[in-house]
Amino acid sequence: MNPQQYSSTNKIADTRYLKYQFYTETIEVSRMSALAFFEAGEKQHKGKRMFWQNREKTFTMVGLGHAHILEALNPHGRFEEVKSEWQSLCRQIVNEEPDVQPILFGGFSFDPLNKTQSVWTNFPQAYFAVPAFQLVIKDDRAYVSIHLVTKKTESFNDFEALRKERDRLIHAAQVSELKKYEKPLVTKRTEIKKDDYLASIRKVTEVIKAKQAEKVVISRALKLDFAKPLSAASALYQASEEQPESFLFGLEAGSQFFFGATPERLVKVKDRQALSTCLAGSIPRGRTVERDTQLGEELLSDKKNRSEHQYVVSMISKVFGAHSTHVSVPKTPKLMKIRDIQHLYTPVEGELMPGSTLLDLVRDLHPTPALGGEPKQEALSLIRQYETMNRGYYAAPVGWIDAKGNGEFAVAIRSALLNETEAYLYAGGGIVEDSTPEAEYDETWVKFRPMLRALGGQLSDES
Ligand SMILES: C=C(O[C@H]1C=CC=C(C(=O)O)[C@@H]1O)C(=O)O
Ligand SMILES: [Mg+2]
């Protein structure tokens, strides 16, 4: 691979990978179910699997096993660390494949400075991996790649063993019966620190009225207990059934599995074209067409929701202005209608400037005021102060980047952490001057709905 493919302005001299060789081999295979491939790795690769499907369903990636792991330890430089390590590693690619690139998949925690004890024990501040076996389905074609990152110069035997395992996985995925996954049986549903959540909204609203911040996103968690452990494949299946019009992602870290079906793109880069989505401001769907349209119109003209949205548009436009040219931002939001909820939505596009990369955009965008607030640092410190939980990877960037610098990150909302027989679900909302705790509380219930339905935790009077 040509080292110049990456920005030549990367001045961090990284010698860590000079001794490594990064071998890749890709074959085209008959199309198969991505979930069946994920499931085929249940025994050999459990704890080290990844799943991604974009909102448009034109790109699906499944990763099984880790050829290489990148974990960033420095809370202040984690984006840089991942970026420079990935660039260095890509320089060691021995042979370039024409159809698909090796992918680095993973995510970041929402706030590395939040020290609140949490259930996210297996997830470091940044957790990325190059899969040993990578299935990519795009343009109606399927490819399986093997990746081997090694210091050994003679790795013929290792590669032979990987080919055998690849063929086993493909065969298992192609001949497996389509599994019927049962809805899990929920034995208990707990609202975590509901009173603290309501109190935090009151406090934050006061702080906003006192002009110490303009917007702060406050969230809360629900816990579900299951009669028996829920498999990662089954959780993904349920999420895709319930929320097909979203990004679908899953990231395993040992016995824990973070997954979700989010409508929100943080940023995508393809051939140096960058695209982000401003998504903030919400109202439920109506039961009839008339009511639905009426609610949509109400959302479009509601002052509080428009202000929630505008902070996001301004911030994303500003970040795009710093990293790209030809920035386009529609003047007024549209509606994004998904199964349970309607959102205000504004796409932002631009052409990356030389020297700017996808991970630079991720670093500067996260968290947008759709998940953090405005101003960013004040909002983060208010969240640390008033939100009595640790978000872990909820509301943080999860996604992928390939060896050419193309990739996409979603904002990991409408998500849950699966921890054997328990699941933690998260939802929040943008608090502005005229927010009320009751309305925000109701809004979180609507946002919990897709994951609750997927995990069988909805009450019988909820749909
Ligand atoms: C924080 C969440 O949603 C964000 C994204 C869209 C709309 C939002 C809102 O209207 O408050 C939130 O900013 C969540 O789903 O947990
Ligand atoms: Mg809102």
Q: Which atom of ligand 1 is nearest to the CA of 281?
A: 10
ipTM, two decimals: 0.99
Distance 90 CA to ligand 1 centre (A): 35
Q: What is the DSSP letter of 5?
A: G
Rounded to 5 degrees, φ, ψ at 106 are 165, -155
Which residue's C-alpha comes closest to atom 7 of ligand 1?
280
Q: Sign of the CA dihedral 92, 93, 94, 96? A: negative
Cβ of 429 less than 6 Å from ligand 1: yes
Could you read off the pLDDT tens digit of each residue along the chain, which spans 463 residues? 333 333 333 444 467 788 889 999 999 999 899 999 999 999 999 999 999 999 999 999 999 999 999 998 888 899 999 999 999 999 999 988 788 999 999 999 999 999 998 999 999 999 999 999 999 999 889 999 999 999 877 777 889 999 999 999 999 999 987 677 888 999 999 999 999 999 999 999 999 999 999 999 999 999 999 999 999 999 999 999 988 889 999 999 999 999 999 999 999 999 999 999 999 999 999 999 999 999 999 999 999 999 999 999 999 999 999 999 999 999 999 999 999 999 999 999 999 999 999 999 999 999 999 999 999 999 999 999 999 899 999 999 999 999 999 999 999 999 999 999 999 999 999 999 999 999 999 999 999 999 999 998 776 555 4
Beta strands in 300-419 (DSSP E): 324-328, 334-337, 341-352, 373-374, 397-402, 407-411, 415-419
Cβ of 148 less than 6 Å from ligand 1: no
Q: Which atom of ligand 1 is nearest to the CA of 414?
A: 15
Q: What is the DSSP letter of 450?
A: H
Paired strand residues for 284: 341
Q: Sign of the CA dihedral 285, 287, 292, 298? A: negative
- The rounded distance, in Å, linking the Cα atoms of 311 and 149 is 43
pLDDT tens-place string over residues 151-164: 877 777 889 999 99
**Are the CB atoms for 225 and 418 separated by under 8 Å?**
no
Domain edges within the chain: 3-175, 186-454
Q: Which CATH architecture has domain 186-454?
A: 4-Layer Sandwich (3.60)
Cα distances (Å, whole numbers) of residue 251 to 71, 191, 295, 389, 412: 14, 24, 35, 21, 11
Question: Looking at 85, 264, 308, 440, which residue is catalytic?
Answer: 264
Q: Is-catalytic flag, 215?
A: yes
- What residue type is assigned to position 116 of the chain? T
Choose among 276, 228, 199, 264: nearest CA to 431.
199
- The rounded distance, in Å, linking the Cα atoms of 185 and 177 is 23
pLDDT reported for residue 460? 53
Q: Quote the pTM value.
A: 0.95
Cβ of 49 less than 6 Å from ligand 1: no
pLDDT reported for residue 56? 94
**Are the CB atoms for 296 and 284 separated by under 8 Å?**
no
Distance 190 CA to ligand 1 centre (A): 21
pLDDT reported for residue 462? 52
Rounded to 5 degrees, φ, ψ at 220 are -145, 175
- The rounded distance, in Å, linking the Cα atoms of 349 and 327 is 6
